[in-house]
Homo-oligomer: A and B are copies of this chain.
Amino acid sequence: MKPTGLVLLAAAALAVAPVAAHADDAALTPLQVPAKTLPVPTADISPGMQKFIAAPLNPDWNDLWKTGEETRAYADKQAAGVMKNVPGLLERMHVTSTPGTMGGVKVYTLTPATIPPENADKVLIHVHGGCYVLFPGEAGTPEGIMMAGFGHYKVISVDYRMPPEAYFPAAVDDAVDVYKEVLKTTPAKNVAFFGTSAGGALAIEMVLRAREKGLPVPGAIAPGTPMSDVTKTGDSFYTNEKVDNILVSRDGFCDAATVVYAKGHDLKDPLLSPVYGDMHGFPPAILTTGTRDLLLSNTVRVHRNLRRAGVAAELEVFEGQSHAQYQFDDRLPETKEAFGEIAMFFGEHLGH
């Protein structure tokens, strides 16, 4: 019978009282979705990115670490692999990396070969991703190197303490200590925070924590696919489960690692799930995600909450990409595009 369907179709173009009335009676019944086959999308996607999208599910997605010692053992082994690629990346990006400390926190200062005059008085603070437990030391710097290289900004990458050395709120506190030190020489309006995944969450958490400590908010932030909700809330935890080939599932390694970092602390605390933070008064923000990203929902929820709070916030969503794939290879056009968008956004908003 057509009339039933009519109502739904009609709904697509207007406010339909009968639909609303009908909906009022409906329970919130879950949707059953059949098994499906997803071809690798190719339209408007570079061949290199197509191959990342075509990669099989991360075979370690269900490694559920339980202690800081376990996460650190994995992190150290992984970091050794990452470090093999850092020299080549620094060379391609024409960036130099200098280790040091700021406010008692270990950092890497990433300096591009050329800094245009309008960027000379700006400082970007980078907080790396890795579920709050991965990428210790210089292994945490690649995203910062790309930002410095593509954006031609000076970047300070925070080597925040991680389990088992330290637990919540060490990461955000270390990052805010670095910010406090930066503020001694650079006005807040000339500083931006950025990072991806846990780093995306940290970029938001830093604003919340800075405010708690009476510090000014920075001039802009760029949270990339932020782990903004670690309470397993967000529709794409379900819709993109086993579609995202990096994180794979809400029940995978990354949430388990965050539980290790949280060490019993309430996961709904805005310093762990910043989507629950009050975003009024936040600085301009640019968010980045992909249509297959397990954290698509938790990126758009932050975007919408920022907009609802009246904040200038932009959203970039890449076709077909899973979690954080926009920063997997500096040689792909999508990577240059993603960092280019962020750099342009910082150019528009910093200093004002």
- Contact assessment for B331 and A23 in the assembled complex, using a CB-CB cutoff below 8 Å: no
- Determine how close the nearest CB of chain B comes to the CB of A22; give it in whole angstroms: 8
B-facing mask of A1-32, CB < 8 A → 1, else 0?
01111111111111111111001101111111
A15-B331, A17-B88, A305-B44 known; A6 and B39 CB under 8 Å? no
Complex interface residues of chain A between 293 and 347 (CB less than 8 A to chain B): 296-297, 300-301, 303-305, 307-308, 314-320, 323-325, 327-331, 335, 337, 341
4 extra interface residue pairs, beta carbon distance < 8 Å, beyond A8-B60, A15-B146, A19-B329? A9-B58, A14-B85, A32-B36, A235-B320
A240 within 8 A of B: yes
A241 to B253 Cα, complex, angstroms: 28
A4 nearest CB neighbor, chain B only = B59
Flag A48-89 by CB within 8 Å of B: 1 or 0 each. 101110111111110100000000001001100110111011
Within the complex, what minimum Cβ distance (angstroms) separates A160 from chain B? 14
Judge if A104 is at the interface, Cβ distance under 8 Å. Answer: no
Beta-carbon contact of A324 and B13 below 8 Å = yes
Convert A177-218 into 0s and 1s, putting 1 for each residue whose CB lies closer than 8 angstroms to a CB of B.
Answer: 000000000000000000011000000000000000000000
The 24 sampled A-B contact pairs (Cβ below 8 Å) are: A2-B60, A9-B78, A13-B129, A13-B130, A13-B135, A13-B143, A13-B197, A16-B85, A17-B84, A17-B85, A23-B55, A26-B55, A31-B40, A32-B37, A37-B238, A43-B229, A43-B233, A44-B304, A234-B319, A235-B291, A235-B320, A239-B243, A239-B292, A314-B314
Contact pattern, A 219-252, Cβ under 8 Å of B = 1, otherwise 0:
0000000000100011110111111011000000
Given contacts A12-B328, A331-B15, contact A81 B7 (CB under 8 A): yes
A33 touches B38 (CB 8 A): yes
Give residues of chain A (111-152) contacting chain B, Cβ–Cβ below 8 Å: 128-130, 134-135, 139-140, 142-143, 145-146
How far, in angstroms, from A89 to B100 measured CA to CA in the complex? 63
A264 contacts partner chain B, Cβ-Cβ < 8 Å? no
A82 surroundings in chain B (CB, below 8 A): 10, 13-14, 16
Residues of B close to A85: CB separation below 8 A:
14-18
Closest Cβ–Cβ distance, residue A62 to chain B (whole Å): 10
Residues of chain B contacted by A281 (CB below 8 angstroms)? none
Q: Is the CB of B341 within 8 A of A307?
A: yes
Are A38 and B30 in contact, with the CB atoms below 8 A?
Answer: yes
Candidates B33, B135, B304; contact of A35 at CB < 8 Å: B33
Cα distance, A323 to B289, chains bound together (Å): 20
Q: Are B31 and A37 in contact (CB under 8 A)?
A: yes
A38 touches B31 (CB 8 A): yes
Contact A48 B63, CB 8 Å, known A26-B54, A238-B36, A327-B13? no
B319-A317 in contact (CB<8A) = no
Residue A101 lies at the interface, judged by CB distance under 8 Å to chain B: no
CB distance from A203 to the nearest CB of B (A): 14
Instruction: Report A285 CB to chain B, min CB distance, Å.
Output: 13
